[in-house]
Structure 1
C-alpha cells in the first residue's frame, strides 16, 4: 500500500461495453437485490457492465463526501484522486445516479445513501441540477447546500425535514427488508 496524490489516476473502470437494450435485458444481476448492478453509464447508447470482465474498481463505494471522482475520456472511465489519500484509506466517489423521473419518496427510498457524511444527501441520486452530459465534479454540492445561511432558526427549520425524511426512509427500508439490513444501492453511474 502507498499514499495517493491529488489528481492521480488510480484505476480504470472496465468491463464489457454493451448497449442499453442489452443492459435492460440483463437487469437485475441479482433478482434478490434488484438495485445492485455494476453498470457505469458512458453515453446515451452505451454502458460498462463490470460484472463481466470488470476489475476491483467495481467495488469502490459511494460517498457524498468522496475522495475520488470518475473521469470519463473517450468512452473510458478512470477513477482519480480528488485529494491526497493516505495508504489504507477507503476509496469513495459520488455515484450521482441519474433517473429521468420526479424524485418521489418511493424513488428516493429505492436509492438510499448510508455514507454518514455531514453533507449526506440521503440518496445516491444526483441533485436535479446535475444535467446529463454536463461535466461536473462528482463532489459538487447541490445549489441549496452552497448557499450561506444567515438566520439560525431558518437553518434549523430547513434541516428538520431532511432528518425526518431519513427516519421515515429507515422505517420504509426495514419494512421492505425483513432482515433489517439496508437495501444495497444501484452501482450504475451517471455520465
Structure 2
C-alpha cells in the first residue's frame, strides 16, 4: 500500500536521479538559486542550501501530478523492490501529489526526526518552509509525519527505518499517532493565528486607505472652495 505521506524513493543509492543541480524557480519572489539536489550522507539523494536561508522562508513547492487515492493505489508501487518508498504526498482533501510524475527537487528532501523545515499545505498545494535559519551547505529535511492505520509492530517499524542520525531520532519514519494529533492541533492553531494576523493587517491597510481618501476628499473640497472664491472675486471685478 502506498503511504499517505511522502517517502523518498531516492533513499536507494541506485535509484534514478534527477539532473544534478536542478533549480527550483517556483518559490515566490526568488530567481537566484538557493537550493540544490545532490547525493546525501543521510541516504540516497538530498536537497541542500546553496546560500544562507532565513527562518520562515518558502523554499520550494512539492510538485507533481495531483491524483485520486484510487489512482495512487493503482500506480503503487513506483519501485517493486521498495514498495514502501514512494513519491506520494497525501493532501487534506484526500487526493495525492505524485512527485514521480511532473515532480521537482522537493521529492528528494529527506526525512528528519529533528527537522529544519516543515511541509505547509495552502489551498491544496504543499510548500517546504524553513523552521529556522539554515546555513549554506546544510541539508534540508522535514518530518514526513507518516501514519499507518495498522498496529505499530516491531516488524512494521523496521519496514520504515530512519537514518536521520539526530539525537531525537525515533528509529523509524512512522510518527506516533498521539504525537501526530498534537502536531495537527498546533498547526491548525498556528494557521488560525496567521489568518487572524493577516486579516488584522488587511483591515489596518483598508482603514489607512479610507483615511487617506477622506483627507484627499477634504483637500479637494478646499481646492474647490478656493476656486469658487476666486471665480466670485473675478466676477465682481
The normalised TM-score by structure 1 is 0.68
Residues 135-187 of structure 1 show CA distances to partners (whole Å, capped at 9, x for unaligned) of: 556xxxxxxxxxxxxxxxxxxxxxxxxxxxxxxxxxxxxxxxxxxxxxxxxxx
What does residue range 69-84 of structure 1 map to in structure 2 within 5 Å?
69-84=118-133
1:63 maps to which residue? 112
1:25 equivalenced with 2:74 (yes/no): yes
Contact kept? 2:93, 2:124, Cα under 8 Å: no
- What's 1:91 paired with? 140
Find the counterpart in structure 1 of residue 169 from structure 2: 120
Task: Verify the 8 A CA contact 1:11 1:57 in the aligned structure 2.
Answer: yes
Q: Which stretches in structure 1 are left out of the alignment for 5+ residues?
A: 138-191
3-state SS of 2:67 partner: strand
- Provide the rounded CA distance (Å) in 1 between the counterparts of 2:186 and 2:110: 19
Residue of structure 1 in register with 2:12 after alignment: none
CA distance in 1, matches of 2:99, 2:107: 6
Q: Find the aligned partners of 1:29 and 1:136 in 2 and give their Cα distance.
A: 33
Q: 2:99 maps to which residue?
A: 50
Higher relative contact order (CA 8 A, sep 6+): 1
Q: Does 1:11 align with 2:67?
A: no
- Which residue of structure 2 aligns with residue 134 of structure 1? 184
| From 108, 115, 118, the counterpart of 2:157 | 108
Work out the number of aligned pairs and report it. Answer: 137
Rate the CA distance shift 1:98–1:136 in 2: closer, same or farther, 3 A: farther
Gaps of 5+ in 2: 1-49, 188-237
RMSD of the TM alignment (CA)? 1.6
Shift of 1:43: 2.3
TM-score w.r.t. length of structure 2: 0.55
Alpha-carbon distance in structure 2 between the residues aligned to 1:135 and 1:52: 31
